[in-house]
Chain A
């Protein structure tokens, strides 16, 4: 098994795809971090100004305790993990496309071995992308924000944990779907369309049709977004003092956790989606005739 893992690792490091996708990942993370920091800073400056002081007092807002930059982090992670998702999707779809899958199956004791080795290597890559995302998001926030707008060490650790988790799960979701639909262009277009357009339309439709808000948190993007978004909202609320219920709703929507369950439950829900995609892809690849 160790041999196969090494082989799969070499497959990923001997082509340029990993850094070709890491560049936009890092740019989005950095950009999202800068924007989140700026938003938080603008907010503090606005409510701290003498004109808004009365408004702040009336609303019960203590501006230096409202870490608005936190809310942008969840959104940034969700957008940046699109790239590890694509990286994962090309794991098997790419091999079917270049026909290297034939040699892969000819040199592995079984297809299950080959798939398992791939899963381990792509989980590792998911973690690497996740660390890059949280690292550059943090860098962006540090550059544009004041220290009062930032989470404490425990908060950062928690954000890093869910970011890495989210990135690993997104990568594996891609691997599964790429096995289920082994066509590079097709699966990449489908995933981008789904995560950026289709599910957002679906969420809007659900909300408009009066389905309970929590339904959204059970959709793939709703749940993976909830994994990071819920943590961001939790960290925000921990310091923000009293926030009216209506306010919490909008905070969650803003952070990308609208309708989502608690972070760990959201993670488990998305894990179920990953398992479904992976199981389907696994079944397809073990049965497929390689002609």
Chain B
């Protein structure tokens, strides 16, 4: 049986579909009590990795375990791990309540659990409706409800924000954080860092089927140097004063502002005061995670800019 640790461990995982290597030697672990973001561009192998973890796809090599066991050795998997893989997976002519009751009995939980999870995702009023008539956002909520049926210790979500409205995304964010705070494990994939930035504590960033970064989001943020944008009355004088103060990373922007790296706004303003330069505006740049993410994952599928349109000469005119 599984060890109940709530730990997800992926080790040297590789999957090849014919000649295509979807996932290559991927390793990471996910600890309970935190929300881990699994990030990468489309086609980076995220979905394949999650499906290998859930026993739906057989790895070519390597292992993926939950609670120290591969999926098929979990015994009653629905009680250990819940998964939101796609906003599909419903019979269009089955009602929401009946869909959940089918899987409630498969997992071995009482029927009352079906209504309870429907309430949890805010679909109580739609319980008697056929899922085929649901919007994408409602289906996504249904997928979350199905994942929660067995009150699992581990939750795996593949791009769950797709199709959710802002209200739904905010709800999901709060829900996942409180779920993790109960000491449970959450692994959530996305191709947009901004989408999960406020939700996750840790990130695994993959590209081309390989791990590019794995660790706390905070460390990633700290990797980015801070920059201060300042609009002085005399750019030259402020630049000289900053250089004298030992600040070398200066850049004059086309709009007349000065970009200063490696110092904070207070230091720049103090230097300007001492140099007798007026400051009309000063702004500290937030660490732009999206840029770091883009740098880490760029180059998988490089598109070209469109060729300029050329009017055909001659013809029928």
Contact = CB atoms under 8 A, between A and B. Distances in A.
Interface of A: 3-4, 6-7, 10-11, 14-16, 94, 98-100, 102-111, 287, 289-291
Interface of B: 17, 47-48, 51, 54-58, 72, 74-78, 81, 83, 85-86, 88-95, 98-99, 101-103, 105-108, 146, 150
B90 A10 contact: no
A291 B55 contact: no
A6 B107 CA distance: 11
A289 B51 CA distance: 9
Nearest to B72: A110
Contacts of B72: 109-111
A291 B51 contact: yes
Nearest to B104: A7
B89 A109 contact: no
Contacts of A99: 86, 88-90
B54 A7 contact: no
A103 B51 contact: no
Contact of B92 (A98, A102, A287, A289): A98
A111 B105 CA distance: 16
Given A15-B94, A98-B92, A103 B56 contact: no
Contact of B101 (A10, A105, A106): A10
Contact of A106 (B56, B75, B93, B98): B56
B13 to A, nearest CB: 14
B108 A3 contact: yes
Contact of B93 (A10, A16, A108): A16
Contact of B98 (A14, A102, A105): A14
Nearest to B55: A105
Contacts of B76: 109
B89 A103 contact: yes
B19 to A, nearest CB: 16
Contact of A7 (B51, B56, B58, B105): B105
Nearest to A94: B91
Contacts of B85: 102
Contacts of B101: 10, 14
21 contacts: A3-B107, A7-B102, A14-B91, A14-B95, A14-B101, A16-B93, A98-B88, A98-B90, A98-B91, A100-B89, A105-B55, A106-B77, A106-B78, A107-B103, A107-B150, A109-B77, A289-B17, A289-B51, A289-B57, A291-B51, A291-B57
B17 to A, nearest CB: 8
Contacts of B56: 102, 105-106, 289-291
A18 to B, nearest CB: 12
Q: Determine the main DSSP class of A at the interface with B.
A: helix
A106 B83 contact: yes
A287 to B, nearest CB: 8
Nearest to B74: A109
A102 B105 contact: no
B95 to A, nearest CB: 7
Contacts of B88: 98-99
B95 A107 contact: no
A284 to B, nearest CB: 13
B58 A289 contact: yes
B98 A10 contact: yes
Contacts of A14: 91, 94-95, 98-99, 101-102
A107 B93 CA distance: 21
Which of B86, B89, B99 lies at the interface centre, i.e. has the most chain A CB atoms within 10 A of its CB? B89
Contact of B75 (A3, A104, A109, A287): A109
Most B Cβ at <10 Å: residue of A102, A107, A287: A107
A6 B17 CA distance: 36
Contact of B105 (A10, A109, A289, A291): A10
A3 B54 CA distance: 21
Contacts of B105: 3-4, 6-7, 10
Given A6-B105, A7-B102, A289-B57, A103 B146 contact: yes
A104 B47 CA distance: 18
Contacts of A11: 91, 102
Which of B54, B76, B102, B103: most chain A Cβ within 10 A? B102
Nearest to A103: B89
Contact of B106 (A7, A98, A290): A7
